[in-house]
Amino acid sequence: MSKDKKAVLRFFTITDYEQEEQWLKEMYRGGWKPHSFVPPCFYTFERCEPADMVFRLEFNDTEITSQSDYLRMLDDYGWSYLFSCMSWRYYCKPADTKKEANELFTDNVSKLEMLNRVVRRRLLPFAVIFFCCVLPNVYRGFSDSGTVIGWNLAWTAILLIYSIIMIHCLLGLKRLRIKYSTKR
């Protein structure tokens, strides 16, 4: 990779989007602008002039090409669309002194609506895979004496990783729900 580009590994779960926004802000302050993201943890950055930029992630499963009016509105507000990945859109804009001017969503109702979309489209399918695929396979591995030990270990490792991510997501969800429910 050239001197003006670099790849960075960093993992964020689906309820860590505010931390990811903060990290991207710090990267830009250090002179690195995000260029792309490949799940689960591969970011590429381009060299840029360090500046105080704010980043916002939006979970939006509507095709972006059908929302040219929304992109126009974002542009009017000063936001630049960077890229999207698996329904997550990345936007940035120069930081404003007014806190609300740095937000896509300025009331708790719309913040909660986006969070609920994340739960429906990401967290629920993730939980279904956990209960319908991972757990039965681990159970079958241990109850059936004929299963190869390697498979058992692999499924147990998957169960462990899955459980850690799941607990992390659920705690994150609870934290965000409390935060967005606070009356301002």
Partner 1 sequence: MYRGLTYGRCCVEDRIRRIYVPMTETGFYILLCLQKESHGYGIGQRISDMTGGALIIGPGTMYGTLSKMEKDGLIQFSREEDKRKFYLITDLGREILTLEKQRIRRLYKLVEEDEAQ
117 vs 61: CA distance, rounded Å: 9
Per CB under 8 A, 18 contacts partner 1:
no
Strand partners, 93: 54
We find the least distance from the C-beta atom of residue 57 to partner 1, in angstroms, to be 11
Nearer to partner 1, 63 or 76 (CB): 76
Q: How far apart are CA 168 and CA 165, in angstroms?
A: 5
Please say which residue, 45 or 79, places its beta carbon nearer to partner 1: 79
Question: Token match 């499924």: residue?
Answer: 155
What φ, ψ does residue 146 adopt, rounded to 5°? -85, -5
The H or E element spanning position 126 is helix 124-129
Least distance from C-beta 105 to partner 1, angstroms? 4
Residues 113-152 touching partner 1, rule: CB under 8 A, are 113-114
One residue of 2, 63, 65, 109 binding partner 1 per CB under 8 A: 109
CB-based contact 91:74 (threshold 8 Å): yes
Cα separations (Å) of 70 from 21, 33, 80? Answer: 21, 23, 12
CB of 43 to partner 1, least distance (A): 23
Is residue 79 at the binding interface for partner 1, with CB under 8 A as the rule? Answer: yes
The two three-digit tokens of residue 17, written as one number: 């989007």
C-beta of residue 88 within 8 angstroms of C-beta of residue 57: yes
Residue 155 CB, shortest distance to partner 1, in Å, is 40
Q: Which residue number, 8 or 82, has a Cβ lying nearer to partner 1? A: 82
Is the CB of residue 166 less than 8 Å from the CB of residue 11? no
Q: How far is the CB of 169 from partner 1 (least distance, A)?
A: 22
Q: Which of residues 58-77 bind partner 1 (CB under 8 A)?
A: 58, 68-74, 76-77
Closer residue to partner 1, CB minimum distance, 134 or 176: 176
**Interface contacts to partner 1, rule CB under 8 A:** 58, 68-74, 76-77, 79, 98, 100-101, 103-107, 109-110, 113-114
